Amino acid sequence: MMVAVGQAAPDFTLQANGNRTISLRDFRGQYVVLYFYPKDMTPGCTTEACDFRDYHPKFAELNTVVLGISPDDVKSHDKFVAKHELPFPLLADPDHQVAEAYGVWVLKKMYGREYMGIERSTFLIDPEGTIVKVWPKVKVKGHVEEVLQTIEQLQQQ
């Protein structure tokens, strides 16, 4: 089951690019955009990461941290970050425990083959650690702009 709006965001501690260890609780007091994506260096995932990169200054203005999570290892994340100059952390979830906690590790089908993998999803977590918006089955085009608009609306309330 995917976590829902109103629930406390499941806490985690994972290794990230740049030889860092990152915990969700480190970002209390800020909004967190937690996005799960299937694989480094693939077309859709690269587009999504670069969109978050291009809007990063705007997220920073809104006291919002962007964190990307995939099952790829830290070495893969380091290459992905370097190649595309990503200014935010990518976290390695190789045993998909965090993906499972958020309900995004699902049975997928492609070309008649079934396998387990990440369902591209984004969670917006408020400064108190509560999930305030969920985007399941994300379509990349226009997604980052929609996330940004949602944060702006929440902060105007």
50 belongs to the catalytic site: no
Where do the DSSP E strands lie in 37-138?
64-70, 90-92, 105-110, 113-118, 121-125, 131-135
Query: If you average pLDDT over residues 65-70, what whole number do you get?
Result: 98
Confidence tier at 95 by pLDDT (50, 70, 90): very high
3-state secondary structure of 31: strand
Domains of the chain: residue spans and CATH: 29-156 (3.40.30.10)
Catalytic residue among 9, 16, 32, 45: 45
Cβ pair 75, 37 in contact under 8 A: no
pLDDT, one tens digit per residue, over 121-138 is 999 999 999 999 999 999
Query: If you average pLDDT over residues 128-157, what whole number do you get?
Result: 95
pLDDT for 104: 97
pLDDT for 152: 96
pLDDT for 56: 97
What CA–CA distances, in Å, run from 14 to 51, 55, 156? 23, 24, 32
pLDDT for 40: 95
pLDDT, one tens digit per residue, over 28-62 is 999 999 999 999 999 999 999 999 999 999 999 99
pLDDT for 30: 97
Confidence tier at 110 by pLDDT (50, 70, 90): confident
pTM above 0.85, yes or no: yes
pLDDT for 2: 87
